[in-house]
Amino acid sequence: MKPELSLQLLDTHAGGDVSRIVTGGIDPLPGRTVREQMAYLRDDADGVRRLLLAEPYGIPEMSVDLLVPATDPRAAAGYIIMEVMGYPIYSGSNTICTATAVLDAGWVPKREGRQRFMLESPAGLVQIEAVVRDGVVEAVTCGGLPSYIHTHRAHIEVPDLGRVTYSVAYSGGFYALVDAAELGFDLTLDEERALARTAHAIVEAIQAEQGFSHYTLGDVGPLPFLHFMGPEERVAEGYVRSRSATYVHPGVICHSTTGTGTSARLALMNHEGRIRPGDRLETVSLRNTGFIGQFSSETRAGGYRVVNNTITGRAYVLARSEIVVNCDDPLVECDGLHHILSSRNST
């Protein structure tokens, strides 16, 4: 009988952003590191990403994380991040979801209280601290990528918007950082579509004007992201809260504030001398979900003030499922996919 092709999934969300964790159904990928395996998926097997982020299986607002065996013996598992714009080497919300998934699926045994382990992302090893109470993962803290300000308070003319002031941070990807109030936004849910249109116009204008290069990674592609910053509210000594919204793709404002967006904000606050090691920033989304970023320390690299930081949030398990991949379905494209799908005979 014709083999049935399937994928095993665990759907989660952190801050409202759904991360679909692929726990089974994909053959081992070539590559000596998770970064090399990510490159293989991107260049030779992009069908997995396209399948799970498009109809009839998914939507562009979701993310997909493929669990793979770690190549570094210090890590409990590896993961490859897939989003509608491609393959980011790191993501805070995806890391929080993946850490929750490996605990829920038993890749890492749950222990009551606080427990630490490492995951291997395409960006390298990530330290995880999870809080488990009554068998439930209530919080995950993960290391954010070292973040820095590349450009501070530059100006650009944007069609239909006029002169826009922005800064550019690197926090796992290059982010334009803009003041929401200067653009007429209060960062409420009813503004979501207008925020997406505005962000797209600004990002396109910046991309047309210049590119950005990381001091060690070099050219990582055109600036893809924009983070709207709301007013900062001092909640307590060393603790600030701010409404925020992150644009990642035409038409897509993340439901969460994103971990990398939060790291970018920490880098800006440090660059402007408004934060000290140990201080925390809580970013609050249009849907009133949040992440907490903590500034750990500053180092100097490539001529930049680089912020070491952590991101804390919570992921919720939504579903455990197995999907059937029917390559005869006219809505399903199996090119770039079939050769890495594990198969089993139908019964």
What is residue 346's predicted lDDT score, i.e. its pLDDT? 38
Q: How far apart are CA 96 and CA 19, in angstroms?
A: 10
Q: Strand 63-68 vs strand 17-24: parallel, antiparallel, or unpaired?
A: parallel
- Which residues make beta-bridge pairs with 4? 344
Q: Are strands 3-14 and 304-313 parallel, antiparallel or unpaired?
A: unpaired
CA-CA distance, 35 to 245, in Å (whole number)? 28
Q: pLDDT tens for residues 304-340?
A: 999 999 999 999 999 999 999 888 888 888 888 878 9
pLDDT score at 85: 86
| pTM beyond 0.85 | yes
pLDDT score at 34: 97
Cα–Cα separations (whole angstroms), residue 326 to 75, 82, 180, 211, 243? 34, 21, 45, 41, 43
Cα-only R_g, the chain: 20
| SS3 (DSSP) at 203 | helix
| pLDDT attached to residue 1 | 40
Q: Which residues contact 141 (CB under 8 A, 6 or more apart)?
A: 128, 129, 130, 310, 311, 312
* Angle ∠(276,279,281) on CA atoms, nearest 5: 120
For residue 118, which phi and psi values (nearest 5 degrees)? Answer: -115, 145
Strand pairing report for 77-82 and 239-249: unpaired
**Quick one: which H or E segment has residue 334?**
none
Report pLDDT for 65.
Answer: 98
Return per-residue pLDDT of the chain as tens, 347 residues. 455 689 999 999 999 999 999 999 999 999 999 999 999 999 999 999 999 999 899 988 899 999 999 999 999 999 999 998 899 999 999 999 999 999 999 999 999 999 999 999 999 999 999 999 999 999 999 999 999 999 999 999 999 999 999 999 999 999 999 999 999 999 999 999 999 999 999 999 999 999 999 999 888 888 999 999 999 999 999 999 999 999 998 989 999 999 999 999 999 999 999 999 999 999 999 999 999 999 999 999 999 999 999 999 999 999 999 999 888 888 888 888 878 988 643 33
pLDDT of residue 331: 86
Please identify every residue annotated as catalytic. 91
Report residue 116 as tokens. Answer: 């630490």
